[in-house]
Structure 1
Amino acid sequence: MELVQISEHVYRLTYETVVGIPIKINTWYVVDGGGVYLIDTGMEDYADTQLNAAKFLGAPKSILLTHGHLDHIDGAKYLKNNLNIPIYAHEAEIPFINGEKPYPNKAEKEITGVKHQVEGLSDNIIKTLPLDVYLTPGHTPGHVIYHHKSDNVLLTGDLFFSNAESLHPPIRKFTVSMGENINSGRIIDEIKPSIISSSHGEDVKYNNDLYSVYKFIYE
């Protein structure tokens, strides 16, 4: 497990676990003054480490989810209970987080542990954040990414998997619409971030060919 500062205000916590297959999971902490925002929570087994990292960096303010899949939300119940902070996700994601209906590509409803405890990312909430929020549907209907404008770091959840030089699509069986997901990825050419940090993989430095190569290979 490793906590790395990837820019002035953004830290990444990385660990490896098994979610059907061995996988690397990244979650993030965005420091803003004396406060810190948690981006995704990873698995519950590592929630205590998440909590300690957040407290080390500042006063935890809220949990911001990219989406509601287990490897992004499983630690949310523990963190919310121990930090007494709100959890936010895109409004389109909340019915799935609440278990009101299954994701379109799944037969069973999600059991997140935070049913009816996640609030929508309203415009008023977003205005208070040190991050811009972009809806990037495809992997899930309400998947979002977070951009730290002054550091120019983009936290992309499962919009991509990544290695140090290239982008790859998320796992198909967990993705509602791969075509829509690939189309959502074009947002990186609008934002042009210095660093793209995905939930599964290594950080990538942006270049003008990054998305076009990804689209050509995988579309």
Structure 2
Amino acid sequence: MERNYTEKWQQYERDFDHAVTEEVVRDVAYYRTFLANVIMIGAPDEDWILVDTSLRRYHERILHACEERYGTKAPKAIILTHGHFDHAGSAKKLAEHWQVDVYIHENEIDYVTGKKAYPPGDPTVGGGLMSLLSAAFPTKPEHLEKVAKPLPGDGKVPFLEDWRYIETPGHTPGHISLYREKDGMLIAGDAISTEKSESSLSVLFPFQHIYGPPAYFTEDWMGAEQSVKKIAQLNPSTVIAGHGLPMQGEAMQKELEELAAGFIERAIPKHKRH
């Protein structure tokens, strides 16, 4: 086990250093950073947008990954599924570099423009090292005042005609997921996960299963349940979550349905602070 753990860590460090981008379909790819996925929508020879931006000081690696796929072509915009530190951390640096706007749901705007802070992480949810460390995770508001814009109120995604955003609150007040009906592609943010987000071992041993949102940062569990049910009703063919590897096919759909039906038992921690 120790040898396997070491080998996995060494491989992860190599991927980390080289900013490896993986293509899911021709016009959707992702870069798996240390804590969260960064997603690129658009074929290499087309206009594109970036979804989520991982941690602060990650912008150079993200730029490298994007340049490997798109050359020097800047995205048309950055879309954030929500404003947590591991999804919005490099947004300011990237937006300034590319001279583009950052779009986020209006209920998240205050969290990325210096007005509000998220509640602190809940280390009492258990499940692994990430939960224990969560109380120290950043919660202060980002300062994207000059670049942040609210998404349109009609569900349209700027510069993406085939996509719409789905309101999936619960993990945060204005959390969104992105959905493309023609092929069932879902970018879920943290509405669900495909790895056990509370466990640090999941970074190294990413066994693919459908889980609820990261428990240590989820604010409204009843809202989160309704969001999972909404996602399950879409019956997506492929899911790219904020944490974990992409999943697709009947096994994924079955797990998603089971999570929606048994959310209280499967996702809500029995021991939590609130």
Instruction: Quickly name the TM-score band, shorter chain normalised.
Output: 0.7 to 0.9
Q: 1:3 and 1:35 mapped to 2: Cα distance?
A: 17
- Equivalent of 1:213, from 258, 261, 272? 258
- Confirm or deny that 1:62 pairs with 2:77: yes
Name the counterpart of 2:221. 178
- After superposition, where does 1:87-102 map in structure 2 within 5 Å? 87-102=102-117
Is 1:34 equivalent to 2:66 in the alignment? no
Query: Is the CA contact 1:43–1:71 (under 8 Å) kept in the aligned structure 2?
Result: yes
Structure with more strand by fraction: 1
Among 53, 60, 71, the residue aligned to 1:48:
60
The equivalent residue for 1:117 is 147
2: CA distance between counterparts of 1:95 and 1:9? 32
One-letter amino acid of the structure 2 residue matched with residue 126 of structure 1: V
**Aligned residue among 95, 120, 128 for 1:80:** 95
Higher mean displacement: 27-36 or 52-61: 52-61
Is the contact between residue 172 and residue 178 of structure 1 (CA under 8 Å) also seen in structure 2? Answer: no
Report deviation, 1:182.
2.0
Q: 1:152 Cα shift?
A: 2.5
What is the alpha-carbon distance in structure 1 between the residues aligned to residue 49 and residue 105 of structure 2? 16
Equivalent residue number for residue 188 of structure 2:
156
- How far apart are the structure 2 equivalents of 1:161 and 1:115? 29
Q: Once the 2 structures are TM-superposed, how far is the Cα of residue 194 of structure 1 from its aligned partner?
A: 1.3
Relative distance call for 1:109 and 1:45 in structure 2 (3 A) is closer
For each residue in 1:148-191, what CA deviation from the matched residue of structure 2 results, as whole angstroms up to 9, or x when unmatched? 33443211111112145421122323111122112201123332
Structure 2 Cα separation of the partners of residues 96 and 65 of structure 1: 12
What secondary structure, in the 3-state scheme, does the structure 2 residue paired with 1:45 have?
coil
The TM-score, its normalising length taken from structure 2, stands at 0.69
Instruction: Say if 2:204 is the partner of 1:193.
Output: no
Distance 1:14 1:189 in 2: 24
Matched with 2:169 is 137
- Between 1:44-53 and 1:1-10, the stretch displaced more is 44-53
Q: Is the 8 A contact 2:187 2:239 kept in 1?
A: yes
Quick one: distance in 1 between partners of 2:106 and 2:28? Answer: 25
Q: Helix, strand or coil: the match of 1:160?
A: coil
Higher Cα radius of gyration: 2
Question: Secondary structure, in 3 states, of the residue corresponding to 1:71?
Answer: helix
Equivalent in the alignment of 1:21? none
Considering only aligned residues, what root-mean-square deviation do their CA atoms show, in Å?
2.4
Letter matched to residue 36 of structure 1: W
CA distance in 1, matches of 2:177, 2:112: 17
1:12–1:29 contact (8 Å) kept in structure 2: yes
Q: Distance in 1 between matches of 2:227 and 2:50?
A: 23
After TM superposition, give the deviation of residue 56 of structure 1 in Å: 3.8
Q: How many residues align?
A: 211
More helix by share: 2
Scaled by the length of structure 1, the TM-score of the pair is: 0.85
Per-residue deviation at 1:50? Answer: 1.3
- Classify the secondary structure of the residue corresponding to 1:156: strand
**Residue 26 of structure 2: aligned partner:** 8
Assess, with a 3 A threshold, how the Cα gap between structure 1 residues 200 and 111 changes in structure 2: closer, same or farther.
Answer: same
Q: What is the alpha-carbon distance in structure 1 between the residues aligned to residue 58 and residue 28 of structure 2?
A: 19
Identity %: 25
Displacement of 1:106 after TM fit?
4.2
